[in-house]
Chains A and B, each alone.
Chain A
Amino acid sequence: MSLDKATVRNIAELARIEVRDDELDHLAGELSGILTFVEQLAEVNTDGVDPMSSVADITLPMRQDVITDGGYAEAVLANATDAVREDEGGFFTVPKVVE
């Protein structure tokens, strides 16, 4: 599969990674090469085969509805650039979003 620049731009948008215009061609080439490589899977007959999303042969374990976590706003905010602290707790900040 050969990807064109528009598709690469779209993927970059979905992935929220800025790609400069002068990088698009090279990136499109690399990604196209990778896709061509993985496309050999089309040769495999997978009729009647269930997709495997986990190798773990167990079902989902559940936990009891008890409060065992939270209550440490300071630790949660500790690594944030530009966090705003209040008397109790605080906020993360981001550039203002307009709906």
Chain B
Amino acid sequence: MTKLTNLTIADALSGLSKGDFSAVELTQAHLDSMAAKRELNAYITETPELALEEAKASDARRAAGKAGSLDGIPLGIKDLFCTKGVLTTAASHILDGFKPQYESTVSQKLKDAGSVTLGKLNLDEFAMGSANITSYHGNVENPWKSKSEPAKKLVPGGSSGGSAAAVAARIAMGATGTDTGGSIRQPAAFCGITGIKPTYGRCSRWGIVAFASSLDQAGPMARTVKDTALLLNAMAGHDPKDSTSAPVAVPDFAAALTGDIRGLKVGIPKEYRPDGLSDEVNKVWEQGIEWLKAAGATPVEISLPHTKYALPTYYIVAPAEASSNLARYDGVRFGLRVEGKTLDDMYKKTRAAGFGAEVRRRIMIGTYVLSAGYYDAYYTKAQKVRRLIAEDFTKAFKDVDVILTPTAPSAAFGIGDNTDDPVTMWLNDVFTIPTSLAGLPGLSLPAGLNADGLPLGLQLIGRPFDEETVFKVAGVMESAAGFTAVPEGV
């Protein structure tokens, strides 16, 4: 019998409904494995009492014939989602002690579907990072180890590093993440799991600690494409409390996994093959193209000419919005307060003590690019280039139905590598950022392992609100890839 923690969500739902095990047993199994894997530091806050309470209630619902779509499934919630009465930190010192008096729409929807909350997952501070090395609550370790240096601790990717590591290490059956420039997709690739950033507006942002409002999106992370679809079914939906939430119906994403992609056209953007793209990444991309061809799809070379400007565009727009969104962290109403002689003194000391170096850098860049005299040259310019980037995709989608690219330029690297220059760290998101700027749905799934035994992911990008095609193609790729590897010791 498969260890309970190794089940997929789909199989667990089946097991629960057949009575093979109870929700309490399933949750307890996860609580035990969480305790055994604390060295990963995936969780900032564990909520075992709450989890068991919810699991009990789930079993009661199931017995009464009232089970919801995810009833009894134990999930981890990225600590960027406000959870009522439960510590929410955004991995920052500045939110010390903050217990929201409200629940985010997305996490509430997951509760309404009957899921169980195991705890709050670690992340880069305020979702700013691609390696989960900026958290006030410590780095997260990738459960995967390289064959050549098995003792070396590797990054899980970021910002949803805790979410990805937990799912990969089987200490959560699924998790929520958020993705602003790649923060679901890139860690999913580094940890050998599946994750999707839905179309902007597909999931509500209400109750999610805001980083960059025009880019942030909540999304599911799980071990299979189907699991990810099941989670998105529950998470998505119009929210009148979020003015940017799209008033569109939520299709059954799991039903989209028909396995049939004959006649579909798959765009292969030439600009995603820059000089210096590593061989291993190139190889897995080529492999992906072959799988899709074999399934009856047609690869089509496309051009997204403004691709190389996506990174600088993002690093103007996102910090600008963040500099404003993070102004509310001032010690007055919640979180850390460092006393000062005057109001301004209190603000300055609180924010200096409360924010980490990456957050401070981005706030300052954001403040600068919005400031008088520079607004047009930086911010307005970036907004214009953003439109060109989005138009590149719109044009391409006239000729293709989905786009296939690598997710990240490399596999997971060591904690401590690449930390000298902030810009170098940012290059991790070079393949994921354009999708965010255009607001399109983007999914990453594991395509294989590199020579060092580390997972490599491939990304599928779809038309706005066409997650169904993305899921469908992903499902086919997943079957073709046959990725069954698990991290050692899991």
Contact (Cβ within 8 A) A46 B388? yes
- Please encode chain A, from 65 to 99, with 1 for each CB lying within 8 Å of some chain B CB and 0 for all others: 00000001001101111100000000010110100
Question: Interface size (A, Cβ < 8 Å)?
Answer: 51
Task: Contacts A54-B214, A55-B438 given; indicate if A38 touches B387 (C-beta within 8 A).
Answer: no
Contact (Cβ within 8 A) A61 B383? no
Task: Contacts A56-B201, A61-B240, A95-B346 given; indicate if A27 touches B364 (C-beta within 8 A).
Answer: yes
What are 20 A-B residue pairs whose CB atoms fall within 8 Å in the complex? A12-B364, A16-B347, A17-B360, A18-B349, A18-B351, A27-B361, A31-B364, A38-B315, A38-B369, A39-B312, A41-B382, A41-B385, A44-B384, A50-B384, A51-B387, A56-B244, A58-B201, A79-B101, A80-B333, A97-B342
Count of inter-chain pairs, beta carbons less than 8 A: 160
Docked pose: A95 CA to B360 CA in angstroms: 24
Docked pose: A97 CA to B345 CA in angstroms: 11
Which residues in window 26-64 of A have CB below 8 A to B?
A: 27, 30-31, 33-35, 37-44, 46, 49-58, 60-61, 63
- Please encode chain B, from 226 to 261, with 1 for each CB lying within 8 Å of some chain A CB and 0 for all others: 000000000000001001101100000000000000
A residues in contact with B214, CB < 8 Å: 53-55
CB distance from A17 to the nearest CB of B (A): 5
B371 interface hit (Cβ, 8 Å): yes
The 3 tightest CB contacts between A and B, nearest first, are A55-B439, A51-B383, A79-B334
Docked pose: A15 CA to B323 CA in angstroms: 8
A6 interface hit (Cβ, 8 Å): no
Docked pose: A77 CA to B268 CA in angstroms: 53
Contact (Cβ within 8 A) B98 A79? yes
Enumerate chain A interface residues (CB-CB to B < 8 A). 3, 7-8, 11-12, 14-19, 27, 30-31, 33-35, 37-44, 46, 49-58, 60-61, 63, 72, 75-76, 78-82, 92, 94-95, 97
Enumerate chain B interface residues (CB-CB to A < 8 A). 97-101, 200-201, 214, 240, 243-244, 246-247, 306, 309, 311-313, 315-316, 323, 327, 330-335, 337, 339-349, 351-352, 355, 360-361, 363-365, 367-369, 371, 377-378, 380-388, 390, 421-423, 437-439, 464
Contact (Cβ within 8 A) B367 A15? yes
CB distance from A39 to the nearest CB of B (A): 8
CB distance from B367 to the nearest CB of A (A): 5
CB distance from B73 to the nearest CB of A (A): 30
User: Of B330, B352, B368, which one neighbours A19 at CB under 8 angstroms?
Assistant: B352
Of A37, A38, A41, A97, most B-chain CB atoms within 10 Å = A38
CB distance from A21 to the nearest CB of B (A): 13
Docked pose: A15 CA to B368 CA in angstroms: 9
B residues in contact with A40, CB < 8 Å: 309, 312
Task: Contacts A34-B422, A92-B333 given; indicate if A97 touches B343 (C-beta within 8 A).
Answer: yes
Task: Contacts A15-B351, A97-B343 given; indicate if A52 touches B390 (C-beta within 8 A).
Answer: yes
Considering the complex, give the chain A residue whose CB is closest to the CB of B383: A51
Contact (Cβ within 8 A) B346 A31? no
